[in-house]
Homo-oligomer: A and B are copies of this chain.
Amino acid sequence: MAPRSKKDNEIIKQKRREQIIRHALESFAKHGYHRTSISEIAKAAGISKGLMYNYFDSKEDLLIGVLEFVMPQAVDTIFNSIAKKAETLTPRELMAFGIERFFEVMKDQADLWKLSMSLAMQVSDMPKIHQTFVQMFDMTFRQIEQLLKATGMPDASLKARLITAQLDGIALHYFVMGENYDLEAVKKAFIQELIS
């Protein structure tokens, strides 16, 4: 009785979802969540406004979809590249390498980061989104904690808190100050202080 194979439909749906997510991310990142309308995203994605609601129940649901799709990718990009080098580098070198990767990803995905930080500050009415952020913060924290423990550092947990805070703080300042912020110099100083 099925007019179209279920497999085909699943594939089509998945592709569409990703297509919408990609354009939604772009618009959200560029103009912010509240300033972006569903119509805008639909237009950018080349589909009708109504179809958006076949894939996402609401605007907030779309936002959750975007974040859940894209945030783990960013974290994995950093820590996968660390894992690859884990065998050939000392824990200390590994840290330095990880920091470098962090700043690369931060610069590459600046828009996503800005959006995330902006949202993270105002999620009191969006518990699901809040949870997403807490999970991601926790993920990076534990990764760094583990790296520090490998170097035999005492108080690795607290130190990891300080380092992750510093990383995100630098990102914050870089995003606000823009070109006036000498990211390279700060990065160098940060690594220097960390390794010594």
What is the CA–CA distance of A120 and B119 in the complex, to the nearest angstrom?
11
Q: Which residues of B are found within 8 Å of A166, using beta-carbon distances?
A: 162, 165-166, 169
Partner of A161, one of B114, B117, B165, B189: B189
For A189, give its contact among B119, B158, B169, B182 (CB under 8 Å).
B158
CB pair B125–A177 under 8 Å, yes or no, is no
The listed residue (B30, B121, B162, B189) touching A159 by CB distance below 8 A is: B189
Other than A114-B122, A120-B172, A121-B172, give 14 A-B pairs with Cβ distance below 8 A: A30-B124, A35-B125, A117-B117, A134-B176, A137-B177, A158-B186, A161-B189, A162-B170, A162-B186, A165-B166, A167-B169, A168-B169, A168-B172, A168-B173
